[in-house]
Amino acid sequence: MAKQLWKGNEALAEAAVRAGLVAYFGYPITPQTELLEYLSGRMVRLGRAFLQAESELAAINMVYGAACTGVRTMTSSSSPGISLMQEGLSYMAASEVPVVLVDIMRGGPGLGNIQPSQADYFQVTKTSGHGDFRPLVLAPATVQEAVDLVYEAFDLAEQYRTIVIVVADGNIGQMMEPAEMPPMREINGDRPHWALVGADGRDHRIITSLELGAERLEALNLRLQRKIARVKREQVRWKEDKTDDAEILVVAFGTMGRISTTAAEMAWEKGIRAGVFRPISLFPFPAARLEELSQRVKRILVVEMNAGQMLEDVKLAVGKDYPVEFYGRMGGIVPLPDDVLEAVERVHTEL
């Protein structure tokens, strides 16, 4: 299929449809709303389930209900809405039902604003709800990558029976870019062995997040931890640019990864050898490769649209004695390549 011009939010929606999405539940919130709007027509015309819920809380629990029956289901929201969905995420993590969530981040805290931001890093990778669980978190830098990741997200969610969060900022949701859509998949009518479909000719099945016995709840937690360990082994993803003979390594995800790549090109023109390391899986964080690269470069510069959230994972990866610099903007301000270049130059003068 040829490339077409797609708006990020609509491209994400169409990719989910093509991945075999059976049921979508959501609530309007800028800058994510076009995703919901697109599906409100597309899903209904295809005879699939679409419902605008009364709140994000209801939306995530509708998704939970559909997920219990083993169909492909998802919701999407933006930062304050994701805060409301944390209850459902925690229950789904404990119940081990597969689900896909798209977060188009905006400025916070509180109502914040509707400009792009990356300040949900903690929320999606570390604090998605109460209890010990970690969703698989994927961060695209282009509309094409967003399409490819959400298309794959449903397979990953089912493979690990986990929550997969595709996290992008308002830039990716709102901008238009050429992207190629993946082929339309048939909806798989087979339901997994654990799904609730009615106890016909078999014992009744139960999906619950309640384990009253301490030992049984610990056993559930140990199983979840084994799964997380498996995800950490198998799903680490990143992209490198000009890292071979770089002296400064810029570490940035999503939109900032992309802007940093432009800044790095500008730096090379000025004789500064800057490479870019862009984590695609925010959880699992590509720590091992980053640690390896840190041995080759002299300095690491982390660039984010927040106060330094991924920065903590970078520092954990390279150790407390390694010189890690940070450049970040908040409030919905998107740094330009010139701004990042300036930060790179500042680090360079200190070498």
Summarize as ranges the residues that interact with another protein (CB under 8 A): 22-23, 25, 49, 51, 53-55, 57-59, 61-69, 71, 73, 87-88, 91, 95, 196-201, 204-210
Instruction: Indicate the residue among 46 and 51 with the shorter CB distance to another protein.
Output: 51
What H or E segment, with its residue span, contains residue 130?
none
CA dihedral 287, 293, 294, 295 (to 10 degrees): 120
State the nearest-atom distance from the C-beta of 126 to another protein, in Å.
21
DSSP assignment of 53-76? -SSHHHHHHHHHHHHHTT--EEEE
State the nearest-atom distance from the C-beta of 92 to another protein, in Å.
10
Q: Does the N-terminal peptide bond of residue 183 adopt cis geometry, omega within 30 degrees of 0? A: no
State the nearest-atom distance from the C-beta of 306 to another protein, in Å.
29
3-class secondary-structure state, position 91: helix
Instruction: Indicate the residue among 27 and 253 with the shorter CB distance to another protein.
Output: 27
Q: Beta partners for 75? A: 101
| Residue among 190, 294, 205 nearest 250 (CA) | 294
| Residue among 278, 165, 283 nearest 230 (CA) | 283
Instruction: Indicate the residue among 65 and 80 with the shorter CB distance to another protein.
Output: 65
Query: What are the residues whose beta carbons fall under 8 Å from the beta carbon of 285, sequence distance 6 or more?
Result: 125, 236, 279, 310, 313, 317
Instruction: Scan for tokens 């969905």, then name that residue.
Output: 85
State the nearest-atom distance from the C-beta of 48 to another protein, in Å.
9
What H or E segment, with its residue span, contains residue 337?
helix 337-349
State the nearest-atom distance from the C-beta of 53 to another protein, in Å.
7
State the nearest-atom distance from the C-beta of 85 to another protein, in Å.
11
d(CA 120, CA 168) in angstroms, rounded, equals 10
CA 324 to chain centroid, in Å, comes to: 24
Strand order in the sheet with 274-279: 238-241, 274-279, 248-251, 299-304, 324-328
Instruction: Indicate the residue among 20 and 308 with the shorter CB distance to another protein.
Output: 20
State the nearest-atom distance from the C-beta of 84 to another protein, in Å.
12
Instruction: Indicate the residue among 111 and 197 with the shorter CB distance to another protein.
Output: 197
State the nearest-atom distance from the C-beta of 125 to another protein, in Å.
22
Instruction: Indicate the residue among 40 and 69 with the shorter CB distance to another protein.
Output: 69
Instruction: Indicate the residue among 203 and 244 with the shorter CB distance to another protein.
Output: 203
Instruction: Indicate the residue among 83 and 113 with the shorter CB distance to another protein.
Output: 83
Structure tokens at 42: 């597309």
